[in-house]
């Protein structure tokens, strides 16, 4: 598959009477966007606000982040199985409004939503302090059940990103990146002098709002399978989960997976990047055994020399991570795992809930239990009502002076296990 990503650089967002892109500015007809989103009976109201880099703005509780984009040509459309019909994506051309992001904010259902500060020390721990953010404040209709509300909010984010992405369809991109993966045997013959390496991406699928979607299918219902890397880059995988904000893979993370990009940078030079194996993180032992068995089997079937394995979440999924690592290594395939740590506020506790001697090459996104004080911001988009109860918060997190003391766990993307963050360390 060959995918062209046309990047339209967005350096500002403004409300206007017409939704368009002009000279690096995304203009938005606020009323039209709201009307587009309010066709869902599960929603009582939708408001739209803007947050830009460097502003004294706090956004919370953040649910998902989505990058606006539009399919220009090639099979499928944006967000297949959710917005577009089910068709295989990953080829043709897609235009991306790079530098813009749609965020969804609303009443909390669980405990695991996030905080994004646009300035100050907290801004250094989230990539979304650097994007021009279109924030949807979404309120549920009376009597709507939690799961229906969460679905409605998720769809609102995807709809808004699609609506805004259309503004870039006829715009000449500032930059075009090309990514290509050839059919397996053709590429293996062409690059037979290079080691064959795959990316194993673990998808959060523990249920109870811990969901990820593959072409619209809940990942709990899949067995491990092989994808072209360009499918990920073109919207095949979407977030629908409420895991801790620090290591949640938002939809934006899936669309801009840095592991995929880094492997493409070495493709044809140092490695033969053969593809992506997606696997899930279910709760029960039998499901974990099945998925890790299949993952290792696919690695063996592809005759891999190496695999990079990334986790999403912590605790229960630590077992999936170690099972995948141990079984893949057992097939003679060298692994590197990417995770983060919950080692206590002093960093002295065991980092993962599971371990094995096979996991001897590790990249960590940092210790999510480390605490930070976030100073008061001049403006809050959303509400501070949940700061004391979100994961990473505690009784007294919100102080009388408006500042907040939380663990990094509460900051969206702070210890992301794709490496989409500023914290990292390696161990060999």
Catalytic residue among 16, 242, 246, 299: 242
d(CA 258, CA 269): 18
Beta pairing partners, 203: 280
Q: 316-330 vs 285-301: helix axis angle to the nearest 10? A: 30
Residue listed under structure tokens 């001697």:
357
**DSSP code, position 39:** T
d(CA 206, CA 195): 34
16 is annotated as an active-site residue: no
Residue listed under structure tokens 């979607």:
213
d(CA 123, CA 195): 39
C-alpha of 133 from chain center: 16
Q: Which two tokens stand for residue 138?
A: 């979404």
d(CA 405, CA 403): 7
Distances from the Cα of 308 to the Cαs of 225, 298, 317, in angstroms?
Answer: 15, 14, 16
The pairing of strands 196-204 and 306-310 is parallel
Q: 146-165 vs 30-37: helix axis angle to the nearest 10? A: 140
Residue 23 has phi, psi (to 5 degrees) of: 55, 45
Task: Report yes or no: 184 and 4 within 8 Å, Cβ to Cβ.
Answer: no
Distances from the Cα of 303 to the Cαs of 274, 299, 353, in angstroms?
Answer: 10, 6, 30
Most distant CA atoms of the chain, gap in Å: 65
Distances from the Cα of 151 to the Cαs of 211, 241, 242, in angstroms?
Answer: 11, 10, 12
d(CA 375, CA 379): 12
Task: Report yes or no: 20 and 27 within 8 Å, Cβ to Cβ.
Answer: yes
Residue 167 has phi, psi (to 5 degrees) of: -65, -20
Sheet architecture: strand order including 12-15:
12-15, 25-28, 20-22
The catalytic residue positions are 242
């Amino acid at each position: 598959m060959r995918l062209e990503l046309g990047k339209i650089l967005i350096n500002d967002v403004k409300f206007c009477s017409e939704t368009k892109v002009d000279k690096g500015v995304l203009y938005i007809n606020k009323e039209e966007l709201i009307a587009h989103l309010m066709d869902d009976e599960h929603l009582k109201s939708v408001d739209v606000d803007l947050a830009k880099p460097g502003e004294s703005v706090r956004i919370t509780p953040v649910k998902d982040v989505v990058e606006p984009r539009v399919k220009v040509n090639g099979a499928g459309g944006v967000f297949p199985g959710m917005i577009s019909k089910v068709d295989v994506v990953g080829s043709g051309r897609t235009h991306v409004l790079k530098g813009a992001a749609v965020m969804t904010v609303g009443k909390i259902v669980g405990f695991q939503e996030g905080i994004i500060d646009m300035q100050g020390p907290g801004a250094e721990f989230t990539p979304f302090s650097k994007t021009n953010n279109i924030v949807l404040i979404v309120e549920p209709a009376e009597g709507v059940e939690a799961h229906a509300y969460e679905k409605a909010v998720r769809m609102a984010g995807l709809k808004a990103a699609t609506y805004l992405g259309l503004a870039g369809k006829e715009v000449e991109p500032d930059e075009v990146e090309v990514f290509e993966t050839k059919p397996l045997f053709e590429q293996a013959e062409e690059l037979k002098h290079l080691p064959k390496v795959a990316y194993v991406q673990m998808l959060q699928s523990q249920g109870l709002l811990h969901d990820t979607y593959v072409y619209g299918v809940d990942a709990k219902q899949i067995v491990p399978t092989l994808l072209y890397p360009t499918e990920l880059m073109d919207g095949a995988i979407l977030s629908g989960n409420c895991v801790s904000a620090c290591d949640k893979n938002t939809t934006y993370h899936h669309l801009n997976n840095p592991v995929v990009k880094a492997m493409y940078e070495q493709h044809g030079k140092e490695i033969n990047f053969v593809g992506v194996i997606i696997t899930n993180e279910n709760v029960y032992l039998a499901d974990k055994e099945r998925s890790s068995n299949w993952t290792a089997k696919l690695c063996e079937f592809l005759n891999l020399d190496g695999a990079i394995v990334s986790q999403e979440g912590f605790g229960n999924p630590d077992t999936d991570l170690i099972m995948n690592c141990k079984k893949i290594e057992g097939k003679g395939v060298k692994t590197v795992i990417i995770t983060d740590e919950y080692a206590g506020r002093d960093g002295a506790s065991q980092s993962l809930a599971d371990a094995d001697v096979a996991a001897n090459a590790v990249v960590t996104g940092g210790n999510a239990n480390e605490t930070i004080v976030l100073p008061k911001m001049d403006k809050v988009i959303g509400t501070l009502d949940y700061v004391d109860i979100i994961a990473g918060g505690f009784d007294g997190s919100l102080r009388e002076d408006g500042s907040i003391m939380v663990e990094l766990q509460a900051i969206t993307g702070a210890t992301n296990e794709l490496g989409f963050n500023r914290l990292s360390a390696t161990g060999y």
